[in-house]
Amino acid sequence: MQIQTVGFIGMGLIGGSIAKALRRVHPKLTLIGYNRSKESLEQALQDGTLNRGYETIGEGFQTCDIIFLCAPVTVNQECMKVLKDIMKPGCLLTDVGSVKTTIHQVVQELELEEVFIGGHPMAGSEKFGYAHADDRLLENAYYILTPTGRGTGEQMQGYSDLVKSIGAIPIVLDYQEHDRVTAAVSHLPHLMAYTLVNFVKESDGPEGLMRQLAAGGFRDMTRIAASSPEMWQQICSENRDQVLGMLMSYTTALQRVGEAVAAEDAGYLTEYFGAARKYRNDMPFTYRGSMDPLHELYVEIADEPGALSIIVTILGANHISIKNLRIRNNREGQDGALAISFDSKSAAEQAAEVLQKYNYTVYKRS
């Protein structure tokens, strides 16, 4: 499968990140894109990611060897109907959605099974839009491929090679198994985060003490609740049966824990928490997940004038860019009064090494 021209329907966070990664790794490729928002198209053209941008889906996409559907599912479905009569023979069609059953059903209805392979790059951020697209967002991220069974081995190999070339790790799954797995490890955690935040909000008193005292554990567990509400409403609708099944099973598990707490069953709770701890510690967190990971350091600093500016100066002098700084008033579960976040693991590691040379006590986030 020879790829010379790649098309994008939608230039948001994921579509933009894939396009930027392809531009960096394969600079000679011709990249074209369609987006409902002119602003994103103009940005992608100005920064050199796209060769051409279109406000409609038309003849410009006839030259594509592969087309990525990166818009919301309902938009992708309408676009496929148009693309069916435009795509040249041999052009591969794929998507980047986190639910696969619905898109595969539409592909079957449109009789596009021979030219479609579903795709789900398991990387992202609580931020969205082309402005936050990153050419390295997919590095070391699992990229799930869901073939229809009607395509060719050449198509699958070509797509897999393209995924590998931008630093992602392709995994082939049946599309229904994909939706069951992601309902548990991605969709359910998001629902839990949204629910927990709203539960605390409704339980808080007029003084807002819960919001004020929410510590590191709460912040880490609920970080994904900052994601797009519209996107997660759509995911709940698209993967309804699998999400409901996981919610019911999780509710049953919570009830069991509640019963053990009520019965003061220390043995059960200790064993239950221990099993969770072991399973969590055995997880291979060397790969990125569906949210952009935090690269944070916690640093002990003195409460005195100039203490913060000294650290910033040290890091700046060593050409280390800081993403964010915050003073940690509640230090539950972690040491270090100052939290510093970085855009990459390498920057965090370099910062830790530099600060330790200046005799700062540094704790790495795990």
pLDDT digits (tens, 9 = 90+) for 24-65: 999 999 999 999 888 999 999 999 999 999 989 988 999 999
Residue 303 sits in a domain whose CATH number is: 3.30.70.260
Specify whether 133 is located in the same domain as 71.
yes
Specify whether 167 is located in the same domain as 189.
no
269 pLDDT tier (thresholds 50, 70, 90) = very high
Residue 286, domain member (yes or no): no
Which residues, 6+ apart, have CB-to-CB distance to 70 below 8 Å?
8, 9, 10, 11, 12, 14, 15, 18, 95, 96
pLDDT of residue 108: 95
Helix (H, G, I), strand (E, B) or coil at 78: helix
Q: For residue 356, what are the CA distances in angstroms to 286, 299, 311, 353, 364? A: 24, 10, 11, 5, 12
> Residue 281, CB half-sphere, CA atoms under 13 Å: how many?
6
Domain stop point among 121, 152, 174: 174
Report d(CA 202, CA 217) in Å as an integer. 19
Specify whether 22 is located in the same domain as 161.
yes
Specify whether 163 is located in the same domain as 186.
no
Domain stop point among 121, 147, 174: 174
Residue 56, domain member (yes or no): yes
Domain stop point among 251, 281, 311: 281
pLDDT digits (tens, 9 = 90+) for 161-170: 999 999 999 9
Residue 28, domain member (yes or no): yes
* Short-list 252, 253, 235, CA closest to 243: 235
Residue 288, domain member (yes or no): no
Burial class (CB in 10 A: 0-12, 13-18, 19+), 233: exposed
Contact status, residue 301 vs residue 153, Cβ threshold 8 Å? no
pLDDT of residue 225: 85
Specify whether 168 is located in the same domain as 246.
no
Provide the edge-to-edge strand list for the sheet that holds 5-9. 52-54, 30-34, 5-9, 66-69, 92-95, 116-121, 142-147, 169-172
**DSSP conformation class of 97:** -
pLDDT of residue 127: 67
Q: What's the full length of the chain, in residues?
A: 366
pLDDT of residue 336: 52
Residue 203 sits in a domain whose CATH number is: 1.10.3660.10
103 pLDDT tier (thresholds 50, 70, 90) = very high
Has residue 329 got a pLDDT over 70? no
Q: What is the mean pLDDT of the chain?
A: 87
Specify whether 86 is located in the same domain as 45.
yes
Average pLDDT estimate for 120-131: 79
Specify whether 215 is located in the same domain as 136.
no
Has residue 140 got a pLDDT over 70? yes
Has residue 234 got a pLDDT over 60? yes
Range of the domain at 53: 5-174
Q: For residue 206, what are the CA distances in angstroms to 44, 212, 214, 330? A: 46, 12, 15, 20
Report residue 42 as tokens.
């103009």
Residue 24, domain member (yes or no): yes
| Number of domains the chain contains | 3
Provide the whole-model pTM.
0.74
* Short-list 283, 290, 235, 291, CA closest to 122: 290
Within 10 Å of residue 270's Cβ, how many Cβ atoms? 11
The values of phi and psi at residue 90, to 5°, are 90, -10
Average pLDDT estimate for 313-332: 75
Specify whether 267 is located in the same domain as 301.
no
Cα 80 off chain centre by: 24
pLDDT of residue 333: 46
Residue 290, domain member (yes or no): no
Specify whether 41 is located in the same domain as 159.
yes
Specify whether 183 is located in the same domain as 124.
no
Residue 287, domain member (yes or no): no
Report residue 338 as tokens.
């100052």
Specify whether 23 is located in the same domain as 157.
yes
pLDDT of residue 331: 43
Specify whether 305 is located in the same domain as 266.
no
Residue 131, domain member (yes or no): yes
